[in-house]
Amino acid sequence: MKFSVIFEAQLADPTVEREHQLFHDSVEQAVLAEEMGFDRIWAVEHHSLKWYAHMSAPEIFLTWVAARTSTIRIGHGVVCMPFNFNHPARVAERAATLDLLSGGRLDLGAGRGGTVQETSLCGVDKERTAQEVEEALRIIGKAWEGDEFEYHGELIDIDPHPILPRPRQTPHPPLFLACSRTETLAQAAELGVGALVMGFAGPESIAEMRAAYDTAVAARRGDRFVSRAVNDHFSVLCPTIVLDDGETARSVGIRGQRFFAQSIGHWYGGAGIPDEAVVEGTDEAAEMRKAAEQVVARLHEQNIPVRPTSTATFNAEHAYGTADDAIAYVERLRDAGADEIMCLIQMGTVPQEACLETLRQWGEKVIPYFRSQEADEANATDGAGVA
């Protein structure tokens, strides 16, 4: 099982000075993640989503991190793939350059960037985003198969051109797709790309999503693969704050997640602006329940169906607490089928000290626990083979 850290660059009270500090803090976290034994970092591309995601140019952030590190993989995921955000040929060029500079450490994920706020900034046709994402993956998956690349699809035509430079990894960096529904999980499986899954609903939901992904993998014929390099990898989001004081960690984590949930609700569902205040001594679990009830009430008022995905981000049962609490939760995610645990630590109200301490706790206690288990299982298998 792999362990990674994901960055949205969230920010409460987003003054210019705080925003500037945020990026340096995130780099510091990424560098520490390598020291602590994490396998990968991810940076997510979004546009104009104040509070929720200030990471509008993740390729710049990731290049800075790559220059400060040497072993951790660099996850450019997700790139907003609709053509008016990023022309597929430009994505391929930037990805190859970053792969070269990082020594072949790049992973590349695709997403839609489908909020009205984002699509209206760049003139993206919301009705075409899913099609354009798939076509972009198809182009990137085939861009370096020859000296010149030519593509004629339903939505875009590219006459013969060399796509330069070529990536370090052959045939290209591993490809992924952001997945939040059964339909996108099936799409990822059929395209032969890894799934990046939001895990807020908890391990039971993750198990159902893994089953849907595996079913689609088993049923596919291979005619929709975007590349000859198939990547059946299932990565799961894991919100986490881990401190010696478990109660403090739980309070800090749930507060950060409430900011995350309210921010995403603002841009994706028209809710009010997120609550930015951090009040010491607040019962954060109660505040989270209250915030979820407000979302449900608003949806009822607007006659919008209240689906599990509408309130999943308000589920507070995650890897918050001590290292033992985190280990117990990760065991449930592993048993649900996670190939990778994507730690969500950098949430808008979480102070830098808590982010850094969480990374240390994972590196010193959580990750070694699972690495030791894997080593014991490998030794047992080797011993059985010798016998």
Q: Which stretches of 231-272 are assigned E, i.e. beta strand?
A: 234-242
Residue from 44, 103, 29, 79 nearest 237 by CA: 44
| The most confident of 146-160, 274-288, 296-310, 371-385, by mean pLDDT | 146-160
pLDDT at 19: 97
Confidence band for 277, pLDDT divided at 50, 70 and 90: confident
Residue 305 has pLDDT above 80, yes or no: no
pTM for the model stands at 0.95
**Contact (CB, 8 A) for 80 and 113:** yes
Based on the number of CB atoms within 10 Å of its own CB, is 150 exposed (0-12), middle (13-18) or buried (19 or more)? exposed
- Beta strands in 119-233, from DSSP E residues, in sequence order: 149-152, 157-161, 175-179, 194-197
- Give CB contacts under 8 A, 24+ apart, made by 204-208: 204/336, 205/308, 205/312, 206/236, 206/333, 206/336, 206/337, 206/338, 207/335, 207/336, 207/337
Q: Which among 37, 92, 102 has a CA at the least distance from the CA of 65?
A: 102
User: Distance (Å, rounded) from C-alpha 155 to C-alpha 151?
Assistant: 10
3-state DSSP call for residue 271? coil
Q: Is pLDDT above 90 for 206?
A: yes
Convert the pLDDT of each residue in 50-61 to its tens digit: 999 999 999 999
**18 vs 387, higher pLDDT:** 18
* Percent of the chain predicted with pLDDT > 70: 95
Name the band, by pLDDT with cuts 50, 70 and 90, for residue 386.
low
How far apart are the C-alpha atoms of 73 and 71, rounded to whole Å?
6
Q: How many CA atoms lie within 13 A of 173 on its CB side?
A: 30
pLDDT band at 306 (very low <50, low <70, confident <90, very high): low
pLDDT score for 294:
81
| Per-residue model confidence (pLDDT) at position 301 | 66
Averaged pLDDT of the chain: 94
pLDDT higher than threshold 90 for residue 195: yes
Beta strands (DSSP E) in the chain are 2-7, 40-43, 73-80, 106-111, 149-152, 157-161, 175-179, 194-197, 234-242, 319-321, 340-344
Q: Residue 4 corresponds to which amino acid?
A: S
d(CA 279, CA 213) in angstroms, rounded, equals: 41
Q: Grade residue 10 by pLDDT with cuts at 50, 70 and 90.
A: very high
